[in-house]
Structure 1
Amino acid sequence: MSLKVAICGGGISGLSLALVLKKFMVSSTLTVDLYEAESAFTEVGAGITVWQRTRSIFASLGLQAALDNRAVSSPMKLRKSDTKEPFAFHTLDFPHGSIALPRLDMVQLLVENLQPDSTPFLTIHFSKKFVSYKQDADGVTLRFSDGSSSRAHLLVGADGIGSPTRKTMYASIAERVAQSDPAKAASVLEGAQPTWAGTYAYRTLLDGEKLRAVSPENVMLSSGLMWCGSGKHVISYPISPTLINILVFDTVPGGLGKPLAGPSVAVASKDEIAELYNDWEDDLRIAVENVGDVSKWTISHIRGLSQYADGRVTLIGDSAHAMSTHFGAGAGQAIDDSYILGRILAHPKVTAGNIAEALKVYDAIRRPIASDVVERSLRIGFLYEFHPDYLPSGTDIDKLRAGDRNELKKVSDTLQDLWRFHWAEMPEQDWERAHEMLEARL
């Protein structure tokens, strides 16, 4: 029996899923239609970090060599920077290190290895903006903004934080719930909405040679840094031999959980970030005065989504678990989703007739992990800023803000433990659990 998969979204998650299916599918009857709203593959954003979890997936796909020629980032240093007498107080120990690269490079790597023109199982449809779907006992009907439609046995929503797939899915779930509990239906819809993480992030790139010319001893040139301080923080790390990726954060007190307002991305100026950090250390001030184009992002996330699958429809990547940018995990979690879902769909026992049961396995494996990472990322960001509600128990906030080394160690120890996720367990272990569940269910 054939299995026709529709993937809506040609970003990192959608392309990764297609690549996993290409690698592991054993049946020539599995086909994929990938629908991309734009006229070509592209990616918004500057840099991403590839950790050991993601590298292990690339190794299983035979793509390890594609990352081997990229430099492994040096350990990230935590630095107390909200003072004119700054100092480093901890170096985060990252076993296996990490690799930083531009997001567009990752998309190009995935596309190159898919080789769409010579991949008969995959058909790519550009300029196809997905709007909604309707599922029945036999499949899913997809509708697009140009008035066209298509059919598949399975729909995968890889369509980002504003996901039409998620909106349609939760509208359907709420409609069913409303038949017995109208109040709960409203809660279901509310829980599926992205909310503000309380933070703005200014994204920009800095030419390292330009910085070296004006500030040859600048600490930003020597390593990746977490510039920490009360109420704000900055992350900087190289993503190429010449470019430094910089994320400048502005946290609004009481903003966490508020509805999103205004544009999610806007053009900004370096003067805005210079003003935010004008009383911080000189090395940071000089660096932000020399950055290139700046964009201001309203950082939003999806916390604790109640399910990633409903019948023949499922969510991956930001459509399921958009997260804040403090943990370097968004792209990695999208690839984790794709790896587990792709292995499940490629399993010889999975058919068009039992796809809903197979998606329950994906949900059971991936949702707890990704939901935990969303919360880790949120807490990490607040720890960089010494937020009282997220500090380790027993921390003396006044001593911490004054730079007491013992109090700073409590923060750094907690951060080190939170970061262990990236290397403590590998996605292959998640797949082994998924495989056992599949064998038991199907």
Structure 2
Amino acid sequence: MTLKIAVCGGGISGLSLALVLKRFASPEALTLDIYEAGPVFTEIGAGITVWHRTRSIFASLGIEEALKNRVVSPPFTLRKSDTKEPFGFHTMDIPHGSMALPRIDMIKLLVDSLQIDSTPWLHVHFRKRLESYEQDATGVTLRFADGSTSRADVLVGADGIGSHTRKTMYADIAGRVAEKRPDEAAAILQGAQPTWTGTYAYRTLLDAEELRAVSPENVLLSGGYMWCGNGQHVISYPISKKWINFLVFDTIPGGLGKPLAGPSVSLASKDELTDLYKDWEDDLCVAMENIGDLSKWAISHIRGLPQYNDERVALCGDSAHAMSTHFGAGAGQAIDDSYILGRILAHPSITADNIAEALKTYDAIRRPIAGDVLERSLRIGFLYEFHPEHVPTGTDLEKVRAGDRAELRKIADELQDIWRFHWEWMPERDWERAQVMLEEWL
């Protein structure tokens, strides 16, 4: 019997899932419909970093070589920059290196690899925004904003931080307890909402040649940097020969978990940045004077969802665990989700009758890992900014702020240890664990 799969969202997680199914599923065993809200496949944001974990998945999908042809591999250096006498204090030891590329290039790589026109079991539907769904004993009915409906055996919500899949899932979960435990139902609904991290991120791309023309020795031109300082930080790294990804952060004291005042995304001016960072090192200030279009993002996350699945429905990528940008792991975790979920859906023992049990395996494997990465990302951002609650025990903050290298080394060592996640545990080991669970549960 053919398993009918619906994926809402044609971003990195949705397309990655399709690619995993193409690689591992029998073509006769399934059909896949991707419903994308926009008129084309696209991706919001500038650049992403690809680590060894993600490259190991791409290798298993047979597309690692194509990735290598599209990216550059910058080193990353920690730099004490909130002074006119800046200095680097640690170069990250990154086994296997890291890669960076524009997000839209990642989308193109996935789309090209899918070869949609020659994949008869894969169907793409544009301008289809999910509004809600309903489950019953035999499947899921999807309802779209244009009034149309469709039917599937399983629904995967890969529809981002504002996910209507997640909203419907948690409305259903809350509804089951609302009559007897209304306070618990309200807490369930509240817990499924995005919350603010307390940080704003200014995002833009720097033209490397234009920067070189005005500042030929600028340190930004020489690799990837984490520009660290008291209460603020900047991340920069090349994503092509032409472009440098440039992210500038402004953390509001006590803002974590507080209501967001104002829009989540807005246009910004370079004057905001130059004012925020006027006391920082000159190379950074020069770069800020020469930026073009700039957007200001209030960074929110989905923190601590109690489950990523409900019967025949599963959440994938940002819909399950949108996270802060400090760890370079959001896209990687979306691909990790897709790899484990895709391998489960492609397993020959999975049918429309046992899919709800199978999705429990996905939740058991992926939720603890993604939750851990979310917390790592949040802490790393605070470490870059020397926040008292997050620096290692025994760190002398006054000495850190004064530039004491021994104290800064404590922070660098802590950061290095957190970053190890990217290369010390591969998703293939998670899939091995998932297979054992499937055998036990099915």
State the Cα distance separating 1:71 from its structure 2 match: 4.7
Aligned partner of residue 296 in structure 1, secondary structure: strand
- Which residue in 1 is equivalent to 2:296? 296
Cα distance in 2 for residues equivalent to 1:81 and 1:400: 12
Question: What SS does the corresponding residue of 2:439 show, helix, strand or coil?
Answer: helix
Residue by residue over 1:2-50, the C-alpha shift from the partner in whole angstroms, topping out at 9 and shown as x without a partner, is 2100000000000110111011002513001110111111111000111
Of residues 24-33 and 313-322 in structure 1, the stretch that sits farther from structure 2 once superposed is 24-33
The number of residues matched between the two structures is 442
Q: 1:242 offset after TM fit, Å?
A: 1.6
Who is 1:423 aligned against?
423
In 2, Cα distance between equivalents of 1:245 and 1:27: 39
Instruction: Name the amino acid aligned to 2:273.
Output: I
SS in 2 for 1:237: strand
Output the CA distance in 2 between the equivalents of 1:41 and 1:110. Answer: 10
Matched, 1:174 2:144: no
Secondary structure of 1:140's counterpart equals: strand
Give the Cα–Cα distance (whole angstroms) in 2 for the partners of residues 60 and 407 of structure 1. 42
What is the CA-CA distance between 1:68 and the residue it aligns to? 2.2
For 2:6, the equivalent position in structure 1 comes to: 6
Residue 86 of structure 1 corresponds to 86
Verify: 1:379 aligned to 2:384, yes or no: no
Q: Distance in 1 between matches of 2:273 and 2:213?
A: 21
In structure 2, distance between residues paired with 1:91 and 1:228:
13
Kept in 2, the 8 Å contact 1:54–1:332? The answer is: yes
Report if the CA contact (8 A) 1:72-1:97 is conserved: no
Residue pairs, 1:132-147, within 5 angstroms: 132-147=132-147
- Contact 1:27–1:348 (8 Å) recurs in 2: no
Taking the TM superposition and a 5 Å limit, the aligned residue runs for 1:22-61 are 22-61=22-61
Counting aligned pairs with the same residue, the percent is 74
In the alignment, does 2:351 pair up with 1:319?
A: no
1:17-416 matched pairs, under 5 angstroms: 17-416=17-416
Q: Match for 2:121: what amino acid? A: F
Provide, for residues 329-370 of structure 1, a one-character-per-residue CA deviation record: whole Å limited to 9, x for no partner: 000000000000000000000000000000000000000000
Q: Distance in 2 between matches of 1:145 and 1:253?
A: 39
CA distance in structure 1 between the partners assigned to 2:421 and 2:244 by the alignment = 25
What are the ranges of 5 or more consecutive residues in structure 2 without an aligned counterpart?
none
Residue by residue, what CA displacement relative to the aligned partner does 1:391-441 show, whole Å, maximum 9, x if unpaired? 101111111111111110110000000000000011000000001111111
Whether the 8 Å contact between 1:70 and 1:99 is mirrored in structure 2 is no
Q: Residue 263 of structure 1: SS of its match in structure 2?
A: coil
SS in 2 for 1:305: coil
Distance between the aligned counterparts of 1:335 and 1:257, measured in 2? 27
Q: 5+ residue gaps in structure 1?
A: none
CA apart distance, 1:200: 0.4
User: Could you tell me the TM-score, scaled by structure 2's length?
Assistant: 0.99
3-state SS, counterpart of residue 245 of structure 2? strand
Q: Secondary structure at the match of 1:132?
A: strand
2:262 & 2:12 partners in 1: Cα distance? 26
Deviations 1:80-137 (A, max 9, x none): 0001111111111111111100000000111111111111111101111110001011
The code of the aligned residue for 1:107 comes to: I
Amino acid at match of 1:205: L
Contact 1:202 1:247 in 2 (8 A): yes
Contact 2:72 2:240 in 1 (8 A): no
Q: Which amino acid aligns with 2:156?
A: V
Give the Cα–Cα distance (whole angstroms) in 2 for the partners of residues 292 and 121 of structure 1. 43
Amino acid at match of 2:289: E
Q: TM-score, normalised by structure 1?
A: 0.99
Structure 1 CA distance for aligned equivalents of residues 263 and 120 of structure 2? 40
**Which residue identity is paired with 1:298?**
A
Q: Residues 233 and 249 of structure 1 are in contact (CA less than 8 Å); yes or no, is this contact kept in structure 2?
A: yes
Partner amino acid for 2:103? R
Bigger mean CA offset, 376-385 vs 391-400: 391-400
SS at match of 2:389: helix
**Counterpart-to-counterpart distance in 2, 1:376 and 1:382:** 10
Q: What CA distance in whole angstroms lies between the structure 1 residues aligned with 2:259 and 2:348? A: 44
The answer on whether the counterparts of 1:135 and 1:141 sit within 8 Å (CA) in structure 2 is yes
Deviation at 1:272, TM superposition (A): 1.2
| Mapped contact 1:203–1:247 kept (Cα < 8 A) | yes
* 425-434 or 214-223, larger mean C-alpha shift: 214-223
Q: Distance in 1 between matches of 2:340 and 2:247?
A: 30
